[in-house]
């Protein structure tokens, strides 16, 4: 019998805890969110992040720039936020319009305000298992595993996806937790066979229902990071949930799994950045 890991409930519980921490800090904690252009999905993400700030008592500063904003104007904004003492965390919503060099923009976020945990210093520290601001989505996955008391030590963990924002930091966190980790990607030979060896399988691919029941070991823990659309345009994950669930000990759903945890970890990172400033 499988158990569904309720990311929404865990996120709500953690946000309550973060709210208490923010209050107890006695600080006016601020998060700046920069959105360039009018990508509908990005607008929803930014709205949700601003709403979450309100829930936990963090002040949000939203900067919405026109889709034609120049590279220089976006860089100037981020540089000014880097200097602003009211701002403890800076989040630049990706993707940005194609004419913007996002790497250059992100390079102006100081490591201590990098609440997304994307900069080379934070990634390097994570790799060395040192204290840092950890990328929100994989950190959210770790909280979900911990909330269910899932033991990782000595387990075979497979991460499908090697992006800098999900797959790679996920693999590092699982390694730091003493799992034996395999990272897969689009060039992996015999993906099915690798996945079948997973006690813990994390899917971060971006392809609807890509992980099918024949790829999952009996009793595995399956975490679905994907946020995709099915053939009817409905939100779904990278895992074929309905067919895979019966094989699992634990499985996370989409929606209501990793998604709410990502924003919660962003709130937590902003709190951490503020108390360490
Ligand atoms: P990404 O940058 O596009 O990376 C996708 C990864 O999947 C790549 O490493 C790619 O391999 C691999 N891949 C693609 N096709 C594959 C195949 N056929 N077999 C094996 N591996 C394959 O995506 P991302 O940013 O990591 O996001 C992944 C998914 O998570 C997306 O659905 C995204 O929307 C979702 N997401 C959700 C949250 C959340 O809060 N829930 C946050 C971030 C992302 P190559 O490297 O070889 O190309």
Distances (CA, A) of 215 to 99, 207, 233: 40, 15, 25
Active site residues: 49, 93, 116
Over the stretch 47-106, which tens digit does the pLDDT of each residue have?
A: 999 999 999 999 999 999 999 999 999 999 999 999 999 999 999 999 999 999 999 999
pLDDT band at 277 (very low <50, low <70, confident <90, very high): very high
* From 167, 198, 264, mutation site for ligand 1 pocket: most ligand atoms within 8 A of C-beta: 167
Average pLDDT on 193-214 reads 98
Pocket of ligand 1 (CB under 6 A): 137, 160-163, 165-167, 184-188, 191, 204-207, 225-228, 258-259, 262
Find the 20 Cα to ligand 1 centroid distance in Å: 34
pTM, two decimal places: 0.97
Altogether, the residues listed in the chain come to a count of 277
pLDDT digits (tens, 9 = 90+) for 116-130: 999 999 999 999 999
What is the spatial distance between Cα 264 and Cα 270, in angstroms, rounded to a whole number? 10
Identify the pLDDT of residue 153: 98
How far is 73 from 77, CA to CA, in rounded Å? 6
Q: Under a CB-based contact definition with an 8 Å cutoff, are residues 258 and 140 in contact?
A: yes
User: Which spans in the chain are helix H?
Assistant: 7-25, 40-56, 71-83, 102-106, 120-127, 136-147, 167-176, 191-196, 241-244, 258-275
Query: Tokens 């395999």 correspond to what residue?
Result: 182
């Amino acid at each position: 019998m499988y158990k569904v890991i309720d990311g929404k409930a865990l996120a709500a519980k953690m946000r309550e805890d973060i709210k208490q921490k923010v209050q107890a800090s006695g600080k006016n904690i601020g998060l700046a969110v920069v959105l360039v252009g009018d990508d509908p999905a990005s607008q929803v993400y930014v709205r949700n992040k601003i709403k979450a700030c309100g829930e936990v008592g963090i002040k949000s500063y939203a900067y919405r720039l026109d889709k034609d904003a120049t590279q220089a104007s976006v860089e100037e904004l981020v540089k000014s936020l880097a200097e602003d003492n009211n701002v403890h965390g800076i989040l630049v919503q990706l993707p940005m319009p194609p004419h913007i060099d996002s790497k250059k923009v992100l390079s102006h976020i100081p490591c201590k305000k990098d609440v997304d945990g994307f900069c080379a210093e934070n990634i390097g520290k994570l790799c060395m298992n040192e204290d840092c601001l950890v990328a929100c989505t994989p950190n959210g996955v770790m909280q979900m595993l911990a909330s269910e008391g899932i033991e990782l030590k000595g387990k075979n963990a497979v991460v499908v996806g090697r992006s800098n924002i999900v797959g790679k930091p996920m693999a590092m966190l699982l390694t730091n937790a003493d799992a034996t980790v395999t990272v897969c990607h689009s060039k992996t030979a015999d993906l099915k066979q690798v996945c079948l060896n997973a006690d813990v399988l994390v899917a971060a691919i971006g392809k609807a229902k890509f992980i099918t029941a024949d790829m999952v070991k009996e009793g595995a823990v399956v975490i679905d990071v994907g946020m995709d659309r099915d053939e009817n345009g409905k939100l779904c994950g990278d895992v074929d949930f309905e067919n895979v669930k019966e094989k699992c000990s634990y499985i996370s759903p989409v929606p209501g799994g990793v998604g709410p945890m990502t924003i919660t970890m962003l709130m937590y990172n902003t709190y951490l950045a503020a108390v360490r400033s």
